[in-house]
Amino acid sequence: PTETKNRVLSALAELLPRRKALLLAENEKDVRKAEEGQMPRALIDRLRIDDTVIKEMVDSLQDVIQLQDPVGEIVKLWKRPNGLLVGRMRIPIGVICIIYESRPNVTVEAFSLCLKSGNGVILKGGSEAAHSNRALFGLIREALDSQGVSTDVVYC
């Protein structure tokens, strides 16, 4: 139900600032490795998590909470000559796979949109953000578990 989805997203929005020290420490490992590997500055900037990025992730979660739940919405309905009503209803796709790099905040944003739309998700972030993504994935699983939702809806 929509209420459960929104509670999971709210729980994650509360966890992000509370676990800031963990996120920053794990992200620093990724940034340090990227700098040692002489990754371009633009990619390192996208990789970095700071207070602003955490706030943006929280704001993004709040925005998704405010979205109308699309599942079950009838977007078109028409009557056939024989009187039969035919319609289009929005339903989940099933499982979505998202592959991305250098932006750990995508982990949270992609998860939130997939959850809201009723889809499971496989998240494959770039190896340069492995520590950051693992930390964020842990928080996502904690938020799901705290609301009694199976952690199997997301795989990272």
Name the nearest CA neighbour of 61 among 143, 125, 132: 143
Position 152 pLDDT exceeds 90: yes
Predicted confidence at residue 129, as pLDDT, reads 96
What is the three-class DSSP state of 96? Answer: strand
Q: Is 92 helix (H, G, I), strand (E, B) or coil?
A: coil
Question: Is pLDDT above 90 for 102?
Answer: no
Residue 38: per-residue pLDDT:
86
Total domain count for the chain?
1
pTM of the complete model beyond 0.85: yes
> pLDDT by residue (tens digit) across 35-90?
999 889 999 999 999 999 999 999 999 999 999 999 999 999 999 999 999 999 99
Q: How far apart are CA 134 and CA 126, in angstroms?
A: 11
Q: Is residue 115 within 8 Å of residue 147, measured between CB atoms?
A: no
**pLDDT at 156 > cutoff 90:** no
Q: State residue 71's pLDDT score.
A: 96
Assess whether pLDDT exceeds 90 at residue 121: yes
For range 86-102, the mean pLDDT: 95
pLDDT band (50, 70, 90) for residue 138: very high
User: Are the beta carbons of 16 and 135 closer than 8 angstroms?
Assistant: no
Q: Mean pLDDT in the chain?
A: 96
Residue 23: which domain range?
2-155
Q: Report the distance separating Cα 17 and Cα 4, nearest Å.
A: 21
User: Which CATH number does the domain housing residue 89 bear?
Assistant: 3.40.605.10
Type and span of the H or E element at 122: strand 120-124
